[in-house]
Structure 1
Amino acid sequence: MTPVSSHSSMRTVQVLGGGNAASGAHVRSLAAGLVARGVRVTVCAPVEADHTYDFTGVGAEHVHVPRSSDPGSVAALRAACTGADLVHAHGLHASFRTALALSGRRTPLIVTWHDRARADGPRAHFLRVLERRVVRAATVVLGTTSALVDRARRTGARDARLAAVSLPGPRTSPVVDDPDRLRPKVRAELGATGRPLLIAVGSLERHRGYDVLLDAAHAWRRLDPVPLVVLAGEGPLRGELRRRIEDEELPVRLVGRREDVADLLAAADIALLPSRWEARSPLAQEALQARVPLVATRVGGIPELVGDAAELVPYGNARALADAVVRLLDDPERRELLKERGVRQAATWPTEDETVAQVLSVYDELTRPRPLI
């Protein structure tokens, strides 16, 4: 990237809460791109987020701001935002705290919705109230999918736009192993030698649809050889899923949180995404880039993201999920077609440089001096 000297006087504050992996990686990528263009960047986030994403390593200032449950977080944010040309918050809770911190100030507030907040019962109503407060306080709402933009507009946003959001590349360049050697090595470690390997990655939470995935796994037990399903991730449903796997003797392994998702995908025959809701799913993007056929639910931003480069099934339909996998396993030509389509679809996604450029154009628009009338 080429630094742009005209932005050397601009100071932005990026606000991140606990942050999921996608929003944390995005803020790091955005901070790096802005700093490279001469923008002064302060990232307000819990200290553990800086340990994970190393905002200071790309030239940003990091200010520790406690999570939303801490009563000192709004005061800390208000102090950190003093003198900023604009503030950019990521995620619902971080955005709500930022709106409170900027109360009474004329500092422009940009909010990015990376995903939709999920809850049931009374908490769902509470989250809808937060959404309304946030979008009405925001100068601009950026949604990572058309569905999120539409939701922001329905909720009362004055200005909601589709955001260009890239899948950031790896922070370091790992030593590239021989793929012909790596694939059998990973498959052997997982216990998938001589059998199809199906991979799903994500937190073990209700909205991921893993209960439906286990229902589908019953049908795969009748195949010869029986596919192995590997779930990589941690979360509150681990115990429940483990009991079902054991009690129902399902061909599924829980392997916990993994740092080698790229290696898992390189070894996989099919990637699975059975979620109830997804925005710009990192797994979907990584699978298509890695030339791994994807079976996903037709929800949220998935159809817009993958186009015709994946097999899409209705959420909650275990039979449709099971049948789609069986068809792909029986049809190597279809798998190859999806691989080629995946590469073409991935080429249409915004790059990190394009993402930064779009965000910076919004910043310029909001900080440009207004002509005197």
Structure 2
Amino acid sequence: MRVAFVLGTTSGGTGRHVRMLTEGLVRRGHQVLVLGPRSVEEQFSYAGAGAGFVEVAVSDRPHPRNDLRAVLAISRLTRDADVVHAHGLRAGALAALGRRRGLLAVTLHNALTASGFVGFVYGALERIVARRVDRVLVVSPDLGERMTRLGARDVRAAVVPAPPLRPAKRTPQEVRDELRAGERPILLTIARLAQQKGLETLLDVAAGPWEDMAARPLFVVAGEGPRRAELERRIQGEGLPVTLAGNRDDIPDLLGAATAVFTATRWEGQPLSIREALMAGKPVIATSVGGIPEIVGDAGILVPYGDVRGLRTAVRTLLTEPGAAETLAAAASRRGREMPDGDAAVESVLRVYDREDPTG
């Protein structure tokens, strides 16, 4: 089978997911071609996984001239493909407009959050994907419901595994010493410092009040992004118990030291951070949005987005209610063991690629 992947600019989970699918398909004897910006090849090395790679400028913002060039390139480069599988809304719409033959699948990894003119354009792209694509894969039930309403004929849940979690290299106490946590519990957030991640809500939660100030949790945020300066000003101005730890390559070490993983995000599909938390046996306190409830199950406490009091109460419950942390940690370990692996994801897309598959 000849499979062509199309993707846009990405530095995270989407790029890793396509790399994992590429490795699995090549290992099974299929021919894979990846089309996307040069930056994704430099970061994820699809050629190193056995695929062909051709640079196609799929940008993350609407640009009529560049988009036309991308459509023409996709049409030309995929004319012999049995399957074209695009990842992301813009890549999916461009692939749909450039389609010649073969089955067309699109995986939607994110929800539409933009407003104004950009939101209008992205709404139009959603309708193109819904009406022109053979099979739409989604990372959360709400995305599936939206695409069905827009007219998609075959909508399925995407299987997105987490990569194996490497062993920690440092002891929890060494990490606690680095973070100057003392005896306080650590609530770890792994997130880009961006608007979608609800970090202003995290700061509201951290502000308390906490009855026992000596034992109030330390919120540690691992990640970088455009909102760092704004967050730092508030943390310092209000003396909040929050540490912005920057981009880290020692996430397993941080997880080992954490009491729980905390996220106040506005929306997520199948976040790697929560899957890593479960594989590390850590409870989760999170907003009940997107695909998070499906992943967490009984391994955490879920609260509506923006409910500061509810999130703070969840933290208190986890830290002070007898047996709560231990019960949730045991559930997290169980769910972590149940997470799908790379082979499950590859077998899932092979079923998607089968035109005779009746499960859609």
Taking structure 2 as the reference length, what is the TM-score of the superposition? 0.91
Deviations 1:34-85 (A, max 9, x none): 1111100011122221222221222111111223244533333233212111
Aligned length: 350
Structure-2 change in CA distance of 1:307 and 1:284 (3 Å): same
Could you say which residue in structure 1 is the equivalent of 2:206?
217
1:347 match: secondary structure: helix
The equivalent position to 1:266 in structure 2, one of 232, 240, 256, is 256
- The alignment status of 1:250 with 2:240, answered yes or no, reads yes
Q: How does 1:46-65 map to 2 (within 5 A)?
A: 46-65=37-56
Partner residue, 2:148: 153
Asked whether the 8 Å contact 1:108–1:366 carries over to 2, the reply is no
Match of 1:126 among 121, 124, 127: 121
- Out of 19, 32, 35, the position equivalent to 1:28 is 19
Structure 2 residue aligned with 1:115:
110
| Residue 122 of structure 1: how far off its partner (Å) | 3.2
3-state SS of paired residue (2:22): helix
Contact map agreement 1:221 1:250 (CA 8 A) in 2: no
Cα distance in structure 1, aligned partners of 2:322 and 2:16: 34
Task: String of CA shifts for 1:13-44, please: whole Å, max 9, x gaps.
Answer: 01111125121111011111111111000111
Does 2:175 align with 1:186? yes
Matched position secondary structure for 1:305:
helix
Identity %: 42
1:42 aligns to what SS in structure 2?
strand
* Secondary structure, counterpart of 1:195 in structure 2: coil
Q: Which moved more, 1:50-59 or 1:27-36?
A: 50-59
The alignment's C-alpha RMSD in Å is 1.9
1:250-288 deviation digits (Å, cap 9, x = unpaired): 111112222222221111112111111111111111111
Q: Distance in 1 between matches of 2:270 and 2:209?
A: 28
The list of structure 1 runs, each at least 4 consecutive aligned residues, that deviate by more than 3 angstroms after superposition, is 69-72
Equivalences for residues 207-356 of structure 1 within 5 A: 207-219=196-208, 222=211, 223-331=213-321, 333-356=323-346
Alignment correspondent of 2:195? 206
Q: Distance in 2 between matches of 1:136 and 1:211?
A: 37
Contact 1:113–1:142 (CA under 8 A) maintained in structure 2: yes
Alpha carbons 2:168, 2:253 under 8 Å: kept: no
**TM-score, structure 1 as length reference:** 0.88
Q: Structure 2 stretches of 5 or more lacking a match?
A: none
Q: Are 1:19 and 1:91, in contact at CA under 8 Å, matched by a contact in 2? A: no
Which residue identity does 1:122 align to in structure 2? F
- The CA distance in 2 between the partners of 1:43 and 1:339, in whole Å, is 39
SS in 2 for 1:246: helix
Shift in CA distance, 22/251, structure 1 to aligned 2, threshold 3 Å: same
Give 3-state SS (helix, strand or coil) of 1:224's partner: helix
Q: What is the CA distance between 1:323 and its match in structure 2?
A: 1.6
The equivalent residue for 1:79 is: 76
SS in structure 1 of the partner of residue 354 of structure 2: helix
Query: Counterpart in 1 of 2:86?
Result: 89
> 1:316 & 1:238 partners in 2: Cα distance?
20
CA contact (8 A) 1:110 1:140 kept: yes
Distance change >3 Å, CA 116–CA 366, structure 1 → 2: farther
- Unmatched tracts of structure 1, length 5 or more: 1-9, 368-373
